[in-house]
Chains A and B, each alone.
Chain A
């Protein structure tokens, strides 16, 4: 590439990167700025006009329920992962190996159910949650979240199972194992990397979900991060922007790092069929 071409490439790329990543940089600047600096409109907001401070971070951890929300999110995440794998692994195996034509149709049905959005379901599900007497309980989310983690996981795992050579399984059957034993002892260990991706995606989807958490949970102590941070760090009409942005930063960076590691597989799940 010519020098000019390379410069244009770098410049355009830098512009887009700044547009996309700037809000996170801004969170970092805001989180460590003194309140008096933050709310002085005379100051250049890009600079630390007064020395940086950890006050907002300390406030977040000591005076708000932030850590409780982290715990709630992890708890729901672990439960939803367990349910997703318990239901998804056998279903994916059945789709990959055991069912014929009607299985293919079921597979399509499962995929289409992924297209039914929470927007359509949150009103009827709010009734279901109250029938189950789970209002304002994290268990309501544990029950409901697999509706969107399960279809994607089945879709992803089916691909993994299909990629394992049939001969390996046949050898296990010849050795006297039943089909189900072969599934547990051969297929599951062979698809560990698929299972790991499902765990990661389920976790990130749980962290990102908003509508159900907003609808089913009302008390401050039961919140998930995605709703607690934007709604409960606001007192009345006053925004605690410093600690709010600290919470945003501390929540998004680990999620992003984790997700980034497994992105390629995730994309493969979405594009399966359209890319060879």
Chain B
């Protein structure tokens, strides 16, 4: 009898569970899974803004994209942009997290200031940089001229020359990502038992040895998390590029998301835009796989 009752309760709670989960699931299916599928449908068709016709065209869109020099540049730039930002962010955030991982006066204020780039809206931060990198009124150029790095009126156009524009976009994106990565690593640092690195230091191990042989290896799982999120945030973002350079000069800062936007939305060629955006899927799959593996490993240990 008792057994029977508990099993009917199990069945009813399973039903209740399904009922409570269903609304969220239906929403996600309609507005994430369905558009995700539509992205593929569009990429293999000839969808344009303002027309309701659809013809399957196979790999035609992909073929014409692969031949376009803008696309090749964007693909290459996306990788440069992502890898360079990740390297900068990793070095910067490990340094900053180590600096913040101790008590000192004013730590709360320092943390607030350090976090500003991440917590302020990205587009707002980007426009702040646009002003600082202005071709005439750049404060950075002014300071460099005052320090005699450049002659007056001879400072570079930060956003007007291909290499410098790319460098600017990378730096601004790293600036934005650094606080996020820092707080994640800081969370990992606080979780490390302090006595192990301390004991090693007492035994005479140098700062660098403790860092590379003890602290960083112990931080690895958390560094992976920070990196994986960082890669996604960078590879799929177009805010900085769109606001600072619009992909220019001459596509030198064009990345896949910004090219997808200008082709699909501004140019009205939804099919080509969808096809360009799909090129980020393989990387997403790799990252998702790595995340699941990391989560699985964390559960086992």
Contacts and interface: CB of A to CB of B under 8 A. Distances in A.
A276 B24 CA distance: 29
Interface stretch (A53-61, A74-82, A191-199, A244-252): A244-252
Given A260-B119, A274-B222, A245 B131 contact: yes
B13 A274 contact: no
B27 interface: yes
Contact of B127 (A118, A128, A146, A244): A244
Contacts of A45: 137, 139, 142
A197 to B, nearest CB: 14
A90 B31 contact: no
Contact of A252 (B125, B131, B136): B125
Report which residue of B119, B179, B191, B260 has the largest number of chain A beta carbons within 10 angstroms of its beta carbon.
Answer: B119
Report which residue of A39, A208, A247 has the largest number of chain B beta carbons within 10 angstroms of its beta carbon.
Answer: A208
A268 B187 CA distance: 8
B126 interface: yes
Interface stretch (B66-74, B91-99, B157-165): B91-99
B75 to A, nearest CB: 14
Given A103-B17, A144-B31, A267-B184, A252 B265 contact: no
B131 A241 contact: yes
A255 interface: yes
B121 A208 contact: yes
B275 to A, nearest CB: 10
Judged by DSSP, the binding face of B is helix
Interface string A109-123: 010110111111111
B124 A260 contact: no
Contacts of A97: 13, 17
B128 to A, nearest CB: 4
Nearest to B114: A20
A276 B47 CA distance: 49
Contacts of B295: 273-274
Interface residues of B, number: 98
A255 B224 contact: no
Report which residue of B92, B111, B284 has the largest number of chain A beta carbons within 10 angstroms of its beta carbon.
Answer: B284
Contacts of B47: 127
A124 B274 contact: yes
A37 to B, nearest CB: 11
Contacts of B62: none
A91 B299 CA distance: 22
A117 B236 contact: yes
A78 to B, nearest CB: 18
B261 A24 contact: no
B122 interface: yes
Contact of A276 (B137, B191, B236): B191
Interface in A256-276: 256-257, 259-260, 263, 267-268, 270-271, 273-276
Given A144-B31, A207-B121, A230-B243, A26 B131 contact: yes
B124 A128 contact: no
Contacts of A10: 104
A210 B241 CA distance: 12
B35 A19 contact: no
Report which residue of A93, A99, A151 has the largest number of chain B beta carbons within 10 angstroms of its beta carbon.
Answer: A99
A147 interface: yes
Given A91-B20, A275-B188, A121 B39 contact: yes
Contacts of B36: 116, 120-121, 124
B187 to A, nearest CB: 5
A115 B38 contact: no
B38 A113 contact: no
A122 B18 CA distance: 30
Interface string A150-172: 11001000000000000000000
A21 B39 contact: no
B166 interface: no
B112 interface: yes
Given A23-B125, A86-B23, 15 more contacts: A12-B99, A13-B110, A26-B139, A87-B23, A99-B14, A122-B264, A124-B34, A126-B265, A179-B16, A239-B131, A252-B125, A257-B112, A259-B115, A270-B229, A274-B294
6 contacts: A120-B280, A183-B20, A207-B121, A211-B257, A252-B121, A267-B184
Interface of B: 12-14, 16-18, 20-21, 23-25, 27-28, 31-36, 38-39, 42, 47, 92, 95-96, 99-100, 102, 104, 110-117, 119-129, 131-132, 134, 136-137, 139, 142, 175, 178-179, 183-184, 187-188, 191, 221-222, 224-225, 229, 232, 236-239, 242-243, 256-257, 260-261, 264-265, 270, 273-274, 277-278, 280-281, 284, 287-288, 291-292, 294-295, 298-299
